[in-house]
């Protein structure tokens, strides 16, 4: 890997990681504690991740259980879940909160797949934008003392990098789509 291209490789890797984290937050009918990753609870005036104020477990395939270490946080956790875009109503029994995931309907699965494909396309656009920035930077190198052959080689390497990450996005999309459509 050429040092001039390393920064673009890192940026593309970050774009792919961001997309995969986004995919982890899409629920596929099974309980996945990662859908709580973006939720914050008001813990003594500080927005705190739910995983840091209680024990998050998955006792069954379609249930997430949250047992806060401080019982006074039950209402705050419940409120954070209700105001989020998870779309699940929490049940609070006074000591723990349960999130029961309903079976997904065929229509809902198709909507989720559309969502996944939209996010994947956004990820590909981000990767292509990084490639464009790289190509622009390489064109500026032409004005310095860098041979045309070297610039052509770097441009080809940048394209190969782009192709690799686009393929990775496609693989991640395929895996998530398969997960969603599996009943």
Tell me which of 141 and 98 has the higher pLDDT.
98
Half-sphere exposure of 68 (CA within 13 A, CB side): 21
CA distances from 42 to 11, 74, 89, 91, 183 (A): 33, 11, 19, 19, 36
Percent of the chain topping pLDDT 90 = 32
5-33: pLDDT as tens digits: 899 999 999 999 999 988 877 766 677 78
Closest by CA position to 50, among listed 29, 74, 19: 74
This prediction has a pTM of 0.70
Q: Which of 13-22, 55-64, 167-176 has the lowest mean pLDDT?
A: 55-64
Look-up: residue for tokens 């050429």? 2
Cα gap 85→37, rounded to integer Å: 12
Q: Which two tokens stand for residue 114?
A: 């559309």
What are the residue ranges spanned by the domains of the chain?
Answer: 3-24+105-181, 33-100
- Assess whether pLDDT exceeds 90 at residue 132: yes
Q: Give residues with Cβ within 8 angstroms of 176, minimum separation 6.
A: 23, 26, 28, 116
Domain 33-100 of CATH type 3.20.20.210: no
- Is residue 124 over pLDDT 80? yes
Quick check: 41 pLDDT over 80? yes
Q: Given this chain, do its domains 3-24+105-181 and 33-100 carry the same CATH topology?
A: no
pLDDT in the model for residue 29: 65
CB of 125 within 8 A of CB of 166? no
Q: According to the model, what pLDDT value does residue 183 have?
A: 63
pLDDT for 127 beyond 90 = yes
Fold for the domain defined by 3-24+105-181:
Topoisomerase I; Chain A, domain 4 (1.10.132)
């Amino acid at each position: 890997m050429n040092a001039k291209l390393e920064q673009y490789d890192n940026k593309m890797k970050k774009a792919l990681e961001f997309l995969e984290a986004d995919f982890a937050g899409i629920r596929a009918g099974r309980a996945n504690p990662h859908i709580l990753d973006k939720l914050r609870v008001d813990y003594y005036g500080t927005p705190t991740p739910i995983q840091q104020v209680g024990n998050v477990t998955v006792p069954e395939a379609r249930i997430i259980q949250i047992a806060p270490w401080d019982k006074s946080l039950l209402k705050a956790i419940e409120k954070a879940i209700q105001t989020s875009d998870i779309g699940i109503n929490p049940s609070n029994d006074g000591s723990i909160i349960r999130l029961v995931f309903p079976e997904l309907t065929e229509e809902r699965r198709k909507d989720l797949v559309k969502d996944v494909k939209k996010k994947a396309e956004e990820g590909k656009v981000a990767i292509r934008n990084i490639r464009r920035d790289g190509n622009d930077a390489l064109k500026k190198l032409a004005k310095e003392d860098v041979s045309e052959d070297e610039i052509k080689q770097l441009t080809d390497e940048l394209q190969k990098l782009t192709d690799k990450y686009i393929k990775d996005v496609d693989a991640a999309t395929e895996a998530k789509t398969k997960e969603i459509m599996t009943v």
